[in-house]
Structure 1
Amino acid sequence: MTELHFSRHLNAEAQAQASSLDHWDQHYEQLSNGRFEGLSEDLHLGFVQVFHEHANQTLLQNGQGRPGTVSFAVTEVAGSGSWYCGHEIEGRRLIALSPQREFELLAGAGMDLMAVCIDTAPLAELAATLFGADFELRLPEPAPVRQPGFDESELSKLLGAALSLARGNLAQLEQPAARHMLSLSLADAVLHCIGCDAFETRLPPGTVARRHIVALAREYMRAHADEAISVPDLCAATGVSRRALQYAFEDVVHLSPVTYLRVMRLNQVRRELQTHRCDSIGDVAARWGFWHLSRFAADYSRLFGELPSATRARWLAESG
């Protein structure tokens, strides 16, 4: 990995925010209404990566971390409704990420996330040096972490200080000694996180059942991503009634199945307005099941804060 690199992006698209993080396989969908405004910062210090994300809209995020790494993040959000891998998260929370298993995060509007990602091999070597050759480096499950006496704010301050230094005086980190000491501090913080035995991996039975229904529905959506899917399609795919599907979606993603499907289709239209530039807006909309164009334009504008014609015009201008 590059010894020292820092990037900062202001993003106008949810998926652009997901793609701005190097070496992570992520997919973001915008769920709340309004123009998207996001910030992503990414700092690489050899075997350590520190990043920060903020968005003004509610996002459904899923994906996997960078292969061969251990990652922890501190999330902070006002209000309720956010969850990570099925567990509700409020205020400031520490969460673990795994490159072996996919994560899902429903990030409420305004959520701030700062994370540290460290290559496993040098972290295991450091652990053996600090704690002895018998120390077992446990790879965490993707779940929230709660440990009595553990102060998430201390990790948050450390990550914030590293990013602040990168923003204001990256040249200081060009000094090998400074870079090495910061990397060791971050690695030590991750070992502290791994050392706790408080990964909240067990979900309540009702939550498990509802998440399973939504997972089946979303798996069907991914398998039929190029089709306009209906609620009866999801009922058939999940084997549940319309009412059970409704309850599951409202509990897990805080949207009805009808609204969720419309939001997903609108996100697909937004992507195709960029990639299928020779097709008319009406053709793209129709391909995703929007037959009432004035209603489609109103729904699109409500979700993304601009008309589809404005989206296409802006992307054409940006591409030259």
Structure 2
Amino acid sequence: MTSPTMERTRLVERTPDVAAARTAVARTHRTFGLDVAQSGVPFRFEETITGTVLLSLESTQCTGTVRGEVAPDTAVTVVWLKSGRGAVDGKPLLRGRPVLYREGRQSFRWDGFQKDLMRIDRATVEQVAAERGGWNLAPLEFKPHHVPEGAPLAAWWLVVRAVAAEILGHVGPVPREREEELTRFAAAGLLTAVPHWPVGQGREAPARTRLTKAEAFLLDHIAERITVDDVAQAAGMSVRGLQGAFQRIHGVSPLFYLKGIRLLLAREQLESGEAESVAAVARSVGLTHLGRFAASYKAEFGQLPGDVLRGIA
């Protein structure tokens, strides 16, 4: 018996025409008062959208200005600015920091920009949130204008890297079961990074499930030497149960998940221009064996940490 499949598509729009760019933006977002305009340089617009109705990635760059209002639809949308200028709800965005489009209409403006965006099926996000939070299935509210930092931010980028590798690596028919797993994985990453709660329950954090306690323990002890037994004890789980839960949700073991976050935090420090030394960076993220740290960093990012610190391309 053939397993059900979904179609993963890739839509590319490249145009020097302002009207065509406006049509492209209006096609992919619920917008109001949409305006696309040329700035002081020749107009160029490029948009690539890859994914399914459950999960997709969008990359857009434009030399002009795109502005208006956007409203939510069947997806939860996360956007991050890569270059240029951008603002949502009138608040300027920091480059490389994800921001969630909230409920209700909100203003946006992008100027001479490059941005990426992830759309995650809203029903899946709500289902995963209920499982993780230990509450009944309900619509969600997210902390307005929240900008993740530190370990939660690294956890988000860990998810983005994994999701992007799979989505961008293949278009055409994909197993529906795997696409649903990938969507749940993306939802878990979002929920780790952005505070949330069921609509109508206020902003008091509800009781967390054992899995979210395990995740919180990992993120709170990034710089410490911890074992899988420590994590299991903090979460009130058996080691076997913990391993199984992480494999189902994150696709890796708890300590492999922790290692990925540590490496991403190290990269952020090394690229900031403010790091004192490779050894100091390694210590700050709990990777104290310099040889293993350098090998793991190069395997993950293709560069030695010392080269990054010295600005060697």
RMSD, aligned CA: 3.2
2:41 matched residue in structure 1: 34
- Are 2:197 and 1:192 equivalent residues in the alignment? no
Cα pair 2:16 2:45 within 8 Å, conserved: yes
Percentage of pairs with the same residue: 11
Q: TM-score, normalised by structure 2?
A: 0.50
Q: Whose strand proportion is higher, 1 or 2?
A: 2
Letter in 2 for 1:60: V
Selected match of 2:96 from 79, 92, 98 = 92
- Are 2:66 and 1:60 equivalent residues in the alignment? yes
* Distance (whole Å) between structure 1 residues aligned to residue 96 and residue 23 of structure 2: 25
Deviations 1:66-110, CA, capped at 9 Å, x for gaps: 4243211111225xx5433222234322222135213222x231x
* Distance (whole Å) between structure 2 residues aligned to residue 135 and residue 68 of structure 1: 16
Q: Which runs of 5+ in 2 are unaligned?
A: 1-5, 198-313
Letter in 2 for 1:64: V
Selected match of 2:120 from 86, 103, 118 = 118
| 1:136-151 correspondence runs (5 A) | 138-140=140-142, 144-150=145-151
Deviation above 6 Å: which 4+ runs of structure 1? none
Letter in 2 for 1:118: I
The DSSP-based 3-state class of the residue aligned with 1:76 is: strand
- Are 2:55 and 1:51 equivalent residues in the alignment? no
1:278 matched residue in structure 2: none
Letter in 2 for 1:170: V
Selected match of 1:17 from 14, 17, 21 = 21
Aligned-pair distance for 1:164? 5.4
* Distance (whole Å) between structure 2 residues aligned to residue 116 and residue 5 of structure 1: 15
Selected match of 2:81 from 75, 86, 97 = 75
Cα pair 2:78 2:99 within 8 Å, conserved: yes
Letter in 2 for 1:132: G
| 1:275-290 correspondence runs (5 A) | none
* Distance (whole Å) between structure 2 residues aligned to residue 150 and residue 16 of structure 1: 40
2:111 matched residue in structure 1: 108
* Distance (whole Å) between structure 1 residues aligned to residue 15 and residue 167 of structure 2: 19
* Distance (whole Å) between structure 1 residues aligned to residue 168 and residue 137 of structure 2: 36
The DSSP-based 3-state class of the residue aligned with 1:180 is: helix
Selected match of 1:131 from 130, 133, 136 = 133
The 3 A distance-change label for structure 1 pair 164 and 33 is farther
| 1:134-283 correspondence runs (5 A) | 134=136, 138-140=140-142, 144-150=145-151, 152=153, 155=156, 158-159=159-160, 162-163=163-164, 165-171=166-172, 174-195=174-195
The 3 A distance-change label for structure 1 pair 9 and 23 is closer
Cα pair 2:30 2:73 within 8 Å, conserved: no
